[in-house]
Structures are given as C-alpha cells and as structure tokens.
Structure 1
C-alpha cells in the first residue's frame, strides 16, 4: 500500500461515539484510510505528521450561507474560509441572482475554487413578487427546471415569501416548491421561517419546507424541532438560553451550526469556526459542537462522502491545538494542507473576472436636495415610521408627528432619519421614502447598493445634502457602501461587481468595511451588526415593516404603507 499522508497518534474525533480516540490516520488518493493494526514501517508513506497532543476533526461544513455577504466572489471567499477550517459549503446565491438572474448564478458555478462549493437554487428572486420590488433578475419555473439538472445544485434555497407560502396556493414560490418536489423528491428544501408558529408553521411544513435558519428563541426551537423542522443556528441564535434547550432535550441530531451571513470585515477574523467557538462558550459540549458543524449538516444535505473521519470519506480535516478554544493549527483539503497557523489569508492565482456589464449595473440620475423635499399643506403630519431595533433585524411600525416648515415636511429637524430607495436597474426609476426611528443620531448619511435582497440603491440620513453626496458617490463607483458627514465621505467600500461584490483582496475589502462600520457608529447607528441591520431595512420578508422601491411594506400582508398617514391642518 502507498500512503500519501500519515497522521500519527492524533486525538481523532469518532463521530459515531462523539468522543476522541488516539489513532493513526492514513490518507490515500485524497481519502481517509486507517487501521491501527498496520505496521506502518512496512508501508510506503510519502509524508508523516506527528499528531500527538492535537485534536483531529472533520472539515467544517456550512450548509446555509450566502457567499455574497462576504462581498467577494467564490474564489476569493474560498481562500478566506479555508483558513478557518471550512472545507465545504452549500451556498444560496440569491443576492447575485437578484442582480443578474440565472446569468449571475451561472457565473458563480463556473468559478474554480479549492473549497467544495455546492449550491442551493435561489427560490425567492425576488423575495416577494415583481409587483412589490424591482430586481435585476428573476428566477422562475424555467430557471428552476434548468438548475435542478446541475450536478452541483443539491438543495432548494430558502423559501421566504410568507404570504405566498401560507395564503396563495398558486403563487410562484408554491409552484417552485411543487416543481422541486416532483423533479427532485429527496432534495432538501430550506426555509426562512421567522416568528412563525402554530397553524402557519404547519402550512410551511405542508408546503415542503423542512429547515429554518432565522433568529430563534427557546420556545421556537422546541416547537419547530418537535414538529419536524431542522434548525440551523446562525450567530444571533447562539445564546445560552437556546443552547440550554438543545442540551436539555438532546436536540443535537436535529440541529446544525451555520453562518448565513459573514461580512467582509468579520471574515478577517473567522467564519463558521467563530460560531462553533461561541456555541461552546454558551454551554454546548465541544464534541456536540463538532458533530453539529460536520456530521449533522452533511446528513441534512445528503452527503455520503464527508462529515466524519472514516475510510473512504474525503480527507478534509482540521488539526486543533486546543479543543475548548477551538484553536486551529492547520487545515487540510483532500489530504493536502491549505492553511497553517500564522499564515495570512491567500488570494487566488487568477483575479476573478466577469462580463463588462457586471461592472455597470448601477443606473439612475443623481439627486439634488429638491428630490428629498416633500410639499405638505398643513401645520404638521402623522407619518408611518420604521422603528429599527438595536439588536437583530426585526422592525416595528409606529406613527410619529412631524412638523411642517414653509410648506415642506421638516424631517431634518424631526429626530428621525429619512430612508430612500431608488430603483437602480434602469427599469422604472422608482423612488420610495420612509422615516426611521433609532436610525442616525448625528448629522450625516449612509448609503449602499448592498440592500437585501433586491439590491436597489438605498440611502438613509439626517441631512439632505449628505444624502445627495452619498447617492452620487454610489452612482460614480457603480455600487458599494458609503458614509458621509458634513458633505465629506468618511467611509467608502466600493463594490463594483453587480454593486454587491469586489475583486479586491479580503484584507483590503475588510479594512474598508471596518472604516464604514466605524463611520456608522460615529453617526450614532446602534446595532449588534450595523451593516446587516441597515442592509435588511429593505428586506420585505423580515418582520415586520421594510421598504422596497415600491414603498414601505407590511411583511405579512404585503400591504403598501403610505409615507404620510394624514395631514393635521
């Protein structure tokens, strides 16, 4: 026998016992092979590693994530995430699909990566309907049928349209669900099931949805798992209370640790490994944390060749210096080392390249201050307002009185922030408006084209002049994230590929985004994740009131909510 790599006397994780055993592990042709009874001196061994004192675990598997959240293409993301022991992901590319439709997803599928990247079909492009939000692309039944035939497409991405799933049997999302169940009856179907309970939860299950990754509570975890929903824990759901429910009820088999979204600046410090460490800190036994980030996600997606260290499985593994702190010494993909402690994140040999129109996707005319003025006949008005949370991405609808000055709504003196969404694909030029409570506390503006999921151009501010500067800069650089104060740009993260991605090294991009994040904080924006919080103010499937280019929207009823409720004369 010829062995390419031999790891001697490591503490090897036995997935099926959920404990460590001191073993010798051989790698042959990129797959595991081991037998402690072998006299290795009689075997042709190409390379030997002394694993004494280290912990050997399978490579991490992230089955619910969006590469675009890192704001880089797949090849750059692959280099970064491998650093943290992530060897396989199942990506739902609904962000690039919202911008470029099927063409965007095909561009991702063509890209070569060291990491194994499988894909879920974006089932909600747009996340609601074309009548409620304008997108650059649409994924309909024909696109779904084509993608169902692709060998690297292994799941249906998160179904998000609450009204379409629960109340409209003939909606596009219900048709996509039925088509998937007919053509691929064993394909996993991912769900987006926030704050859904009782009969509504049963309707999600009845439609074929069998997993949820949204923000959880102890009661939602218990109800969903005991009703057949597989739970995927992202960072904001990894709390001591939630972990206690999983421990107390031994829910390990029905739960996986995932990321969903990791921003470019956070990717400088970690990926799925960060959430694994957090779960351990919150009380999840280390062995169960490993199990829930390797084997249960592999089983959920139907992988038969990874997620455990057994003969015949792919030799994707991590060597840890310490177990409880999850300190990574080195990472191996197909039996070859792809990262070692102390080395920086790499960059692909060839810079990612896309068609020219991918770099020219932000269209529209520049604003003037007059575009942000609202003529009103009366002394004051009652406005419908989006109340932003300081934690998470949920919002509330409230009403606030705003004064009128010289015949115009005096929003700049209201203590609220103005939020504007501009359709940016050159289809209709829509502009919609809202006021936000708990937005910016200082004078300034923030803007982005990375606005979930339609990715139109969105600007929020307390100064009209600063908002104009932000919008014009986004047009000039073909998308990104900007922060403006006193008509000066104090934070800028260009994203010229579709307005949502950059081909820059992750170190540069992450540094730019850190400056943007700090600029938001300096303007008084408060949230546990400032970038995600702002970018999801435009996500019309996340409770309870959001904005698209069509206007403010009640997420459950799809009712368009007027900017001004009534004028008080």
Structure 2
C-alpha cells in the first residue's frame, strides 16, 4: 500500500539515484552541479552558514566546507547570494487563480514557490472525479511539486446547495495510493464532524494514515476540541490572534493565509515565535494572477513578515518551507541539507526576499523553458473541456424581489475577509434604512432549471449596472450583483453564452469580461492575458460604483455556506451559524 506517506512524491530516492549519490559522497564520481560562492540559511539553528552546495540526481549531496572537496560536472558561481529552501504553499486552489496548473507553474515557480498543496474541490464540485483525475495527470507532468489533497466535502454542506457532481467515499478511496496524494482536503462540514456523522467519520477513518486538512472558522472551546480530537490537523480559516493561539495550544497547525480577499497575515503574524513556528505555515488559498503579478506569491508573505512584522528571517523562511514540509510529512523537502530535494531559492538579501534564481530538483528554472511547454503539457493532460453551463436564458422578472415594507436579512461583506455579517435592514416602501444595499442572485447552472435565488447584499457600492461570475464557491453556480434586474439578467445570460467567466454590464452593454471555459472557472490563457482582463474588469466595475478591491473574488464567496455568518446558495439564504436556510424577509415578532 502506498497510502504510507513515505512512498509519496519526493520522499524516496530510487536505488540507482542513491547509489550514484553515495559514489559522489565517496569522491568516486562527479556530481551533476556545484553551487559556489554562496551562503546557506540554516533554518534549524537560525544561522547563515558558508557554502558550497553540491547537488546530484536532483538531491543535495553535501553542504558547507565538507563539500569543497567534491567534484561536479558543472560549477555555478552564485556571486555571494544566500540560498534558502524553496517555498511551500500549504493550502491553495489552483482553480481560483483562474490558471491551469501548467500556467500556474510557469507564473509562480520563478517566484520561489517550488511546492504546492492543492485541493481541486472547485473543479470536483463542477465535474466530480473527472476533475481530480485531470489534476493528478497534471501533477505527473509538472516540475513544480504539486501535491493533491482529495476533496472531502462535495458539496460543501449537503442539502444546502446544488453542485455539478457527487464525489463518493468509494471514489475518493481510489486515489489513496497515488504518489501525489498526501491526504484528505479541508473538512468544511465541521458540524458533521462534531456530531459524529457516520458518513463523515468514515471519510476520516479512510484517510487516517495520511494528512487530514481542516476548515473551522471561529470554532473554539469544546467544539474545537472535538474537531481536533477527530484527527484533523490544521486550519487555514483562522482570522484573529486569540483564535490562532487556541488552535496552536490544541496541537492544530495554523496555516496563515494571504489571498486576494482573505488577508489574515497582519492579524496572525504575531503567532510566529521560536516555540510556535513548527506549527505555523503559509498559504495563499485563493490568489489571482493580478495580485501575483502586482505583489507576488509566498515570497510576498515572507517579505511582509520580515519587513512589516519584524519576524526574524530564519523564522519567516522556516514557516514558508520547513514547517510545511514537516507538517505534511515531506521529509525530503524544506531544508538545504544532505538527502533533501534540491529545491532552492537564491537571493541577494534575506530581508528583501529578492529572488535572483530558483533551482528545483537540481535544475535552474530559468533554463527549463516553461513558457514553451505550457501548451504541450496542457494537451498531454487531456483537460476536461466539456460545456458546464446548462441553465436556460434567465428573464429579468425571475430576478425580481417583491419588496414590501418590513425588515430584511442582508449579507454585509467585511473588508479583507471571507466572513460576512448578518445584517437586518428596514425597507419603508421606497428605500432601505441603510445605504449601499444591492440586489443579489445565485443561479443554478447544472441543468436543473431551478428559479434563481434572490437576496440582498451590502458593501459593493453599485449605483447602476451589474457584475456576475460563474466562480461561486464551492458549488460554482452563477452569482450576480446589480442595481436592477435587467442588468443582472444580461450579465448572467452573457456568462451562459460564453461558457462561464466574469463580466460587467453598464447601460445595457457588456463592458468587460473574462472567459473561463474550463469548467466555467479556469482560463486557458496566459497569466499576463488573464491579468489584462482582470484590470479591465476592475476598471469597468469601478465605473458602475463598485468600491471593493477584488469584487469578483469577494462575490464568489457569497455563495459558500461554511464561512459565517450569512451566505446564499441556489436554495436561498443560509444562516451559517445554524447551518439552516432562512427567509429573506424577517418575520415580524408575535
């Protein structure tokens, strides 16, 4: 059985690999590569040590003065740079970058992200096991280490939403032995865990020998103890210091997130100390190409930790690599030391995080010609490109909200958070007692032809037109926000026509869009082209009054019924605190 972590990708050297490496260490043969004139950051002792670094068969043979005597076929002068381990993104969804895995690799590998732990539940929600099988095929074609967690909650919460496909435990178990599978992806249905739901416990038991990732925003006390006792090992949904401290004290790793909307780094950076750093990891979760191009990826988080939060460099680089490797049981990743995979970032300055070159598996990334290989790799992976937008054209009157005087539940967004507030606002027959309330619709897109679910949202600021997306976590139905039903219907129908994506409507015209033909959630374009579209979408959204920095990412999470407090699915408004559907209009007290 390969369900043992020791048999996973990067974990073992083949016999011939090891034999050759040993002959190098005995001085009998030349290594493949020797990095000279550099120093090495020791993440264990917190020191900067002298080089060189000798690499053979993709793994590190020796480091430091002892490596001086070893010969290599190729020697590279690193001009006094500092070597740090390649970065590991501890939890993310490639789909929410809107890039294919190969385009993601091309974009983030030069930024120093040499390994990712991804959960493809976005695509699995759209098309079931076809989605996960494609991701596993991609993982085998990639240079970047892509580890794939098996999606645990499809849909996120049963009975509260409709998605594109089931994903049964029997199907999940088929991937236990795959070398790129490390375990079970984020377990979002924490009430099922705490309540001892038999189906949920069966999933936890099936993956008990591997990693089990968590998702428990604001959970505390005995409920958090129950969740942790079940075997769940981490959480990336932590949003405040005390919440993080409690999770750490209970032996749960805190994966600190800085995505395009959910920005928790500032609140959680104080958690990182010499004591806690083994249980602190970094992740992006959901980060789009525009943010990556403008700021960076994991390298951006490391820089912020050092420069803004005054975290010691060895701790900042530790949580970006070795802590994640240890947490996931990846014994040959995360350090620059003998027997570790040669995934190395070369910098001129530790505090600036100015990566000059990246080495992965003993190869320089800038010599791999990743740009030229994206198209061929994508073709070889046989991507599932079937149509997934199967709802009939939506009429504007289907989106009407029959408002009468009274109190209404409103979803209020919170800046830089996926959390929302449950707001109650009074409508007097002409207007609400609070400004900035827009119409919201969620439209099922998998062919059931359900009428749209309609509601109200505060915080986007639209004063005309509409915006819409087919990226609606996690079931990925269409989400639209607008000032009027006609604009919303036009935006929704445009997405149905183009096979999914983002769009903005102003004065009866689609002023910007981005096509996402792969599952209605991913583009086949380059990150640069996607970024260009996102910039145009942001401008178009701003023109109709949108004040949110990342409107399409923000709105996509309005449909996720596992993050408090109020969300909306195709079935209606969901009170996430109670995990139950509620009416749009508040019942008058008796």
- Compute the TM-score of the two structures, normalised by the length of structure 1: 0.91
Checking the alignment, whether the CA contact within 8 Å between 2:127 and 2:164 is kept in structure 1 is yes
- 1:203 alignment partner, SS class: helix
Residue 197 of structure 1: aligned partner: 220
Cα RMSD over matched residues? Answer: 2.5
Alignment gaps of 5+ in structure 2? 1-28
Q: Report matched runs for 1:46-85 at 5 Å.
A: 46-85=73-112
Deviation at 1:427, TM superposition (A): 2.9
- 1:125 alignment partner, SS class: coil
The answer to whether residue 29 in structure 2 is matched with residue 4 in structure 1 is no
Residue 21 of structure 1: aligned partner: 49
- Distance in 1 (CA, whole Å) between partners of 2:257 and 2:371 is 23
Deviation at 1:550, TM superposition (A): 0.7
Q: Deviations over 1:208-237 (max 9, x none)?
A: 212011132111121110111111111256
Residue 8 of structure 2: aligned partner: none
2:137 paired residue among 100, 105, 110? 110
- Distance in 2 (CA, whole Å) between partners of 1:444 and 1:10 is 57
Checking the alignment, whether the CA contact within 8 Å between 1:440 and 1:462 is kept in structure 2 is no
Q: Report matched runs for 1:144-543 at 5 Å.
A: 144-167=172-195, 169-170=196-197, 172-181=199-208, 184=209, 187-235=210-258, 236=262, 238-240=264-266, 242-247=268-273, 250-269=275-294, 270-281=296-307, 282-339=309-366, 348-350=374-376, 352-353=378-379, 358-375=385-402, 380-404=405-429, 415-527=436-548, 529-543=550-564
2:156 paired residue among 127, 132, 152? 127
Q: Deviations over 1:502-560 (max 9, x none)?
A: 11111101211222233333433344543322110011001111011011101132221
Alignment gaps of 5+ in structure 1? none
Deviation at 1:497, TM superposition (A): 0.6
Greater mean deviation of Cα atoms: 258-267 or 535-544: 258-267
Deviation at 1:325, TM superposition (A): 1.0
Checking the alignment, whether the CA contact within 8 Å between 1:380 and 1:567 is kept in structure 2 is no
- Distance in 2 (CA, whole Å) between partners of 1:346 and 1:552 is 46
- 1:54 alignment partner, SS class: strand
Describe the shift of the 1:287–1:346 C-alpha distance in structure 2 as closer, same or farther (beyond 3 A): farther
- Distance in 2 (CA, whole Å) between partners of 1:165 and 1:524 is 42
- Compute the TM-score of the two structures, normalised by the length of structure 2: 0.88
- Distance in 2 (CA, whole Å) between partners of 1:468 and 1:511 is 25
Greater mean deviation of Cα atoms: 169-178 or 472-481: 169-178
Checking the alignment, whether the CA contact within 8 Å between 2:238 and 2:254 is kept in structure 1 is no
Checking the alignment, whether the CA contact within 8 Å between 1:538 and 1:547 is kept in structure 2 is yes
- Distance in 2 (CA, whole Å) between partners of 1:404 and 1:261 is 40
- 1:47 alignment partner, SS class: strand
Q: Which runs of 4+ in 1 moved over 6 A?
A: 343-346, 354-357
- 1:565 alignment partner, SS class: coil
The answer to whether residue 111 in structure 2 is matched with residue 88 in structure 1 is no
Q: Deviations over 1:408-458 (max 9, x none)?
A: xx89x9852111111101135242111112233321211001111010011
Checking the alignment, whether the CA contact within 8 Å between 1:478 and 1:496 is kept in structure 2 is yes
Q: Deviations over 1:233-286 (max 9, x none)?
A: 112565455323433x73112111121111121232421111111121222111
- Distance in 2 (CA, whole Å) between partners of 1:81 and 1:175 is 36
